[in-house]
Structure 1
């Protein structure tokens, strides 16, 4: 739980750097905003001290200068594309984003529907937004994009798109997810603004990879692990190296598209304002690391967590085996195995001792807590209770939930709700603990320890149900799960990587 990132310095430095970039142009900057704006939990895990809403807080410092443009692809609306982390469609997420930004005092100027070709679903969504008083613009598919630069940068290309009317110096272009068309919207606006005599600028804000950390730094390797499903690859920016003789890190898609972007800039301006993809970025996160070793260790743990996540997804048929192999390669590059995650061996040892599923959790001070499966509690529920009692200084022989109180819940589950498993899950055990807290001081004391579980590491010897996974997430416990079903002896593979 050691801090490695100075969040206050980041907020000040990042907002100042964006203001400085705005001044390079005619007081108009289109900022392509990648990643999650107000719930960046990956960044908070690999840069301990980084707050998940840091980027939102940084933008709030620029609220008087900034407006937000949200981009969504008509194709994603048409096929009801879903955000994997939230389980909602992209069009619903646009509505959610508008609400969140406005609640935080940020001005949402408009929504742009890209790849518009008269799709009925996109047309209905457009009408819905307009009825809510939200300005909506349509951008169209351009034949030969992005290679046919002469056509793209012309009145038959970007010129056919509807011009987005903006009123503030900083235009933050964001989207529900990748592939929405943020970059194309920014470049289209540069062309449209140039026709109107305004020399607007473009910049890109991506937190990862961090350009001024080494290529194989664990923080950057953790980004590759996080995007293993997209097959993003970190690489030295060859354009930056050639222009300045300095090694900086970017990722393959930006490096591959830069010659095309450069040609577009030259077509619009007569010259390009940037010599490399790195030049386009405005990310200051690398300058705000205050304890590099803490960030390295946090990132090594994140790579192992991503590995276990991929193993579980492969077991469920949700990803290809190549994704698992890629993260194995990253673990080799980082010089780590699953045994560098202490809770793994602790959970597996406890499972071997008891002959049943078990779980382990490491507290902030390094103490290791385990939980075993019993007739009353599942391994995760037992682990949670044991951890709370340990933090509260309550003897483990002391019952904070009476067995007599658990029995009626088991009867409810099996007799009336049709469950075959009488053991309590984590959510049920917390409800039972809350009920006990009304009359038992020890139960209340244990309940009061819940916030102290945030950031703790945990591991289970088998895959667990969605209820326990969600509860760990709500408590901010960073958990991994062995790729093995409770009722099957089959592992995906040995955990010896």
Structure 2
């Protein structure tokens, strides 16, 4: 059984109350949401018991007084930047987010494309939104932002970017990912609101780093590991210490820009800022939800290891640089961790080595090991019928349903028929069945086969299991495993020398 170390309900109560305190000080509060508003899987992994949809549930309680502006950087649309946890591009994620918010009755004011320079793909995306009845705005980059305050406040600064008309007392500014222009959007809106005579404020809904946990707490180190591509580094907030005599943790980007942001806010409002430190700007009551620090620390350490595998894979795929690799290695060493501290890693590698020694194939043996929630370890390998993902999942279901290993859940004849469909009719060069294809076959078989039905009913129990693959999985298998709630890592090795089919 998964150990719980975090109380989401308590956290939501405190976080909600603190937001309302901020709202009461203004006619309108622009609330920048850092991290994922829906499906915060990183927080769920490092804080066992955290509800990955906690933020949207909190917003749900405030929806009568709140509306949302979704920011997306035009450059991210143009280069098809992918949100890793869902395997979809940022423009697709914007559409998904709009659907999610609408389904909850939360008002979506508009989509703002930031730093727009006429990028063709971004233009197509905006046209699609407009024809679907979504309000779309664009902001161009401001030369010298944010350090050249005079330029930012001049005619070629906030003044040239349009004002987005809002009507609610809480305006949530969110995005599919980091560096989307959320802060600049909030400041731009505050500039125009002030011109209209409205009393407005700014706050940042923070999750990580956690300001009142130690600097080297594994939860905060896991944040560094998760943002390795952004070069984020946690540090002590010296502004906070000078103002209050209390130690608080923040990170380099907020620390570097705070004096400038503080000055911009003071220029906008014509008043001295109420914020004496970057930590002051944040709304973060995450620590209040931690009920067992030991459980949380261990979960965060596992996340650091998981992130190290991710960086290695991104480097292999050309998505990460050598600096990220070196930085990740330093984080592992400082945390006294190694990749083999992740439970399914060694069993997967050991089985793969056994296969390698018994065959003449030049391909890397594809093996997946799954650690069930009770600690049992299950393995699966690629065969002529199915790939390692499918085999490991079926073996895991057998174990959970107490079905003997020698019993077939699916008739080989059925699997061979599906293979012929793939190769003969659909012209696929890969005859082995994927996890998705095998699960569909299992669902159909469950209608008439009681044994298959037993196994099929165990699918929810794969959630929160840990898995490791000795090879890089294709996108389809990776997404199927993630949809099942299995936490997957893999070695940075392609299963074959093929370029396209990997």
Both structures adopt the same fold (TM-score exceeding 0.5): yes
Question: Structure 1 residue 326 and structure 2 residue 327: aligned?
Answer: yes
Q: Which moved more, 1:331-340 or 1:346-355?
A: 346-355
Partners of 1:432 and 1:358 in 2: CA distance? 21
Number of the residue aligned with 2:273: 272
Q: Which runs of structure 2 are paired with 1:454-469 in the superposition (5 Å)?
A: 454-469=463-478
Number of the residue aligned with 2:348: 347
Partners of 1:468 and 1:29 in 2: CA distance? 43
Q: Which runs of structure 2 are paired with 1:264-303 in the superposition (5 Å)?
A: 264-268=264-268, 269-303=270-304
Deviation for aligned residue 1:81: 4.4
Number of the residue aligned with 1:304: 305
Number of the residue aligned with 1:437: 446
Partners of 1:122 and 1:110 in 2: CA distance? 15
Q: Which moved more, 1:149-158 or 1:59-68?
A: 149-158
The answer as to whether partners of 1:209 and 1:249 remain within 8 angstroms in 2 is yes
Q: Deviations over 1:225-263 (max 9, x none)?
A: 111111111111121122112221111111110010111
Q: Which runs of structure 2 are paired with 1:222-301 in the superposition (5 Å)?
A: 222-268=222-268, 269-301=270-302
Q: Does the residue aligned with 2:398 lie in a helix, a strand or coil? A: helix
Deviation for aligned residue 1:30: 0.7
Instruction: State the superposition RMSD in angstroms.
Output: 2.4
Q: Which runs of structure 2 are paired with 1:149-168 in the superposition (5 Å)?
A: 149-154=149-154, 157-168=157-168
The answer as to whether partners of 1:4 and 1:295 remain within 8 angstroms in 2 is yes
Number of the residue aligned with 1:12: 13
Give the direction of change, closer, same or farther, for the CA distance of 1:152–1:452 in structure 2 (3 Å limit): same
Give the direction of change, closer, same or farther, for the CA distance of 1:349–1:91 in structure 2 (3 Å limit): closer
Partners of 2:102 and 2:454 in 1: CA distance? 39
Partners of 2:324 and 2:411 in 1: CA distance? 46
Q: Does the residue aligned with 2:453 lie in a helix, a strand or coil? A: helix
Give the direction of change, closer, same or farther, for the CA distance of 1:426–1:12 in structure 2 (3 Å limit): same
Give the direction of change, closer, same or farther, for the CA distance of 1:311–1:245 in structure 2 (3 Å limit): same
Q: Does the residue aligned with 1:383 lie in a helix, a strand or coil? A: helix
Number of the residue aligned with 2:385: 376
Partners of 2:445 and 2:124 in 1: CA distance? 51
Question: Structure 1 residue 473 and structure 2 residue 482: aligned?
Answer: yes
Partners of 1:91 and 1:403 in 2: CA distance? 41
Give the direction of change, closer, same or farther, for the CA distance of 1:251–1:93 in structure 2 (3 Å limit): same
Number of the residue aligned with 2:69: 69
Number of the residue aligned with 1:54: 54
Deviation for aligned residue 1:306: 1.4
Partners of 1:323 and 1:120 in 2: CA distance? 31
Deviation for aligned residue 1:126: 5.8
Number of the residue aligned with 2:3: 2
Give the direction of change, closer, same or farther, for the CA distance of 1:280–1:408 in structure 2 (3 Å limit): same
The answer as to whether partners of 1:258 and 1:277 remain within 8 angstroms in 2 is yes
Number of the residue aligned with 2:411: 402
With the length of structure 1 as denominator, give the TM-score of the two structures. Answer: 0.90
Deviation for aligned residue 1:32: 1.0
Partners of 2:233 and 2:151 in 1: CA distance? 30
Partners of 2:415 and 2:182 in 1: CA distance? 53
The answer as to whether partners of 1:350 and 1:359 remain within 8 angstroms in 2 is no
Deviation for aligned residue 1:303: 1.3
Number of the residue aligned with 1:495: none
The answer as to whether partners of 2:83 and 2:89 remain within 8 angstroms in 1 is no
Give the direction of change, closer, same or farther, for the CA distance of 1:401–1:331 in structure 2 (3 Å limit): same
Give the direction of change, closer, same or farther, for the CA distance of 1:406–1:324 in structure 2 (3 Å limit): same
Structure 2 residue ranges without an equivalent (≥5): 357-364, 498-502
Deviation for aligned residue 1:140: 4.2
Partners of 1:94 and 1:336 in 2: CA distance? 36
Number of the residue aligned with 2:207: 207
Q: Does the residue aligned with 2:102 lie in a helix, a strand or coil? A: helix
Deviation for aligned residue 1:280: 0.1
The answer as to whether partners of 1:83 and 1:177 remain within 8 angstroms in 2 is no
The answer as to whether partners of 1:83 and 1:176 remain within 8 angstroms in 2 is no
Number of the residue aligned with 1:177: 177
Deviation for aligned residue 1:388: 0.6
With the length of structure 2 as denominator, give the TM-score of the two structures. Answer: 0.89
Deviation for aligned residue 1:129: 4.9
Partners of 2:443 and 2:138 in 1: CA distance? 52
The answer as to whether partners of 2:27 and 2:198 remain within 8 angstroms in 1 is no
The answer as to whether partners of 2:68 and 2:172 remain within 8 angstroms in 1 is yes
Partners of 2:413 and 2:130 in 1: CA distance? 58
Count of aligned pairs: 486
Q: Deviations over 1:446-488 (max 9, x none)?
A: 1110000001001122223333212211111111112223347
